[in-house]
Amino acid sequence: MMGDFIINDAMLFLDALICGMIIAVAYDILRLFRNIIPHLIFFVNVEDFVFWNIAGIYFFAVMFSANNGVLRGFFLIGTILGAYVYKKSFGELLFGLLTLGINYIINNLLKKPINKVIIKAIKAKELSDGGTEKKKSCEHKSCHKKKEIK
């Protein structure tokens, strides 16, 4: 019946939208990781290469399982549209809130206590040294006595 084909295609398009949203969420997680730990451009490129290869495998796995291995152009369009809808609807808001939350946790819940422990350790070391600074050694030639040649 014709209605079954339309329902099947609509479900396939819904699978494509969800696939695109999942890929976009996964990339946002990678972006959060990059915000927490700064990367050199080389490592960003390696991460992107690995990510997009995994995303491509996931895309084809979903497409083949949802459509019995038949390649359909509208599945690709639906995946792109799903990622776009996620980004424009609540993706950027969610990413911004998560970034603020992670920065708050790092700066207020982790960094301050760790800095206090480091400061206490430095003060304890200074007290154990008797409060005196170590004498600096002179490395300049004029500091050393010249040996006289007899």
- Is residue 21 included in any domain, yes or no? yes
pTM of the model: 0.68
- Is residue 75 included in any domain, yes or no? yes
Domain span holding position 82: 2-93
Q: What DSSP letter does each residue of the chain carry, written as one string?
A: -HHHHHHHHHHHHHHHHHHHHHHHHHHHHHHHHHHHS---HHHHHHHHHHHHHHHHHHHHHHHHHHHTT---HHHHHHHHHHHHHHIIIIIHHHHHHHHHHHHHIIIIIIIHHHHHHHHHHHHHHHHHTTTPPPPPPP-SGGGSPPPPP-
Cα-based angle 71, 77, 83 (whole degrees, multiple of 5): 125
- Is residue 70 included in any domain, yes or no? yes
- Is residue 145 included in any domain, yes or no? no
pLDDT tens for each residue of 42-78: 999 999 999 999 999 999 999 888 887 777 888 999 9
Give the confidence band of 92 by pLDDT, cuts at 50, 70, 90. Answer: confident
The answer on pLDDT for 142 being more than 70 is no
Domains identified in the chain, total number: 1
- Is residue 123 included in any domain, yes or no? no
pLDDT of residue 143: 52
- Is residue 41 included in any domain, yes or no? yes
- Is residue 38 included in any domain, yes or no? yes
Give the confidence band of 27 by pLDDT, cuts at 50, 70, 90. Answer: very high
CB of 72 closer than 8 Å to CB of 13 = no
pLDDT of residue 145: 52
- Is residue 106 included in any domain, yes or no? no
